[in-house]
Amino acid sequence: MLITRKAEFSASHRCYNAELSEAENRDLYGERASSHGHGHNYVVEVTLEGEPDNITGMVVDLKLLKQILHEHVVDVMDHRHLNHEVAPFDKVVPTVENVAREIWRRLEPQLRFPHARLHNVRLYETADLYVDYAEAAAK
Amino acid sequence: MRVTRVYRFAASHRLHAASLSSDQNTELYGKCNNPYGHGHDYILHVSVTGEPDRRTGRVVDIAALDRYVHERLLRLYDHSDLNLDVPDFAGVPTTENLAVDSAERLRQAWPFQGASLDRVFIQETDRNTIELQLTKG
């Protein structure tokens, strides 16, 4: 059984690789390489896979899931500039792909429950662009 | 890792199987068989799998994917009649066949090395969606 919790955060980022020239960055990322960055209202959907507990009827305590999601993702990234304030995006380009992978890495160790494990992270950068990320070993 | 981009197009269609009688078509498709057709605002999700390129951090160049999807699909489907205006459309233009047709057209000249076409998902209405998984998830 899959259960999904959604959260939102607003953050700015700049898609720019310091190892490339200005022209190469402009060519690659277009206006997303603009020097001071820009922002999105990101939406993250965190899906766990598991079985309902015999006593509680719940796959996972949703209050606890919400708390973990906030502590490890929303509180870290909301109203921040990802390149300047959230590691590893001082070194890694904060494309939606890389942000989704970073969210998985932050959450997965926190979501090892007796009956449930992290199954998928879906991150919407806009309504028209999203990434699904899952690491096979944790399935 | 899977990246999905969402597109929209408006098209008309009529569900009518030429091999069936008029009564059978009415029975099978109901109002979708009305003679002059009808239209939808379709929403199309195109999913691509791969690993982010180490240099760019991207699985696929989104602007290039947009150009490709416009060239291969939206140019043909948007503001068209799926029964009459789309060359080589195979079968009745149900959402199922539209997903198959979309996947086939996208596959034919797929230019993105290291990124595979993974899924086509089409929403015909809020309550009617078709998902075609092209690789093993």
Contact call for B6 and A127, based on CB within 8 A = yes
Q: What is the mean pLDDT of chain A?
A: 93
Catalytic residues of B: 32, 79, 124
**Mean pLDDT (whole number) for A17-24:** 90
- Greatest CA separation for chain A: 60
Interchain CB contact of A17 with B (< 8 Å): yes
Note the ipTM here: 0.76
Please say if the pLDDT value at position A138 is more than 60.
no
Tell me the pairing of strands B2-13 and B80-81.
Answer: parallel
Please say if the pLDDT value at position A4 is more than 90.
yes
pLDDT tens track for B20-74: 999 999 999 999 999 999 999 999 999 999 999 988 999 999 999 999 999 999 9
Position A130 scores a pLDDT of: 97
Position A35 scores a pLDDT of: 82
Contact call for B3 and A130, based on CB within 8 A = yes
Taking residue A59's Cβ as centre, other Cβ atoms within 10 Å add up to 19
Position A33 scores a pLDDT of: 85
- Alpha-carbon distance A39 to B18, whole Å? 52
pLDDT tens track for B62-80: 999 999 999 999 999 999 9
Residues of A in contact with B3 (CB under 8 A): 96-97, 129-131
**Mean pLDDT (whole number) for A40-59:** 94
- Alpha-carbon distance A98 to B58, whole Å? 8
Between residues A74 and A136, the one the model is more confident about: A74
Tokens of B44: 């199309």
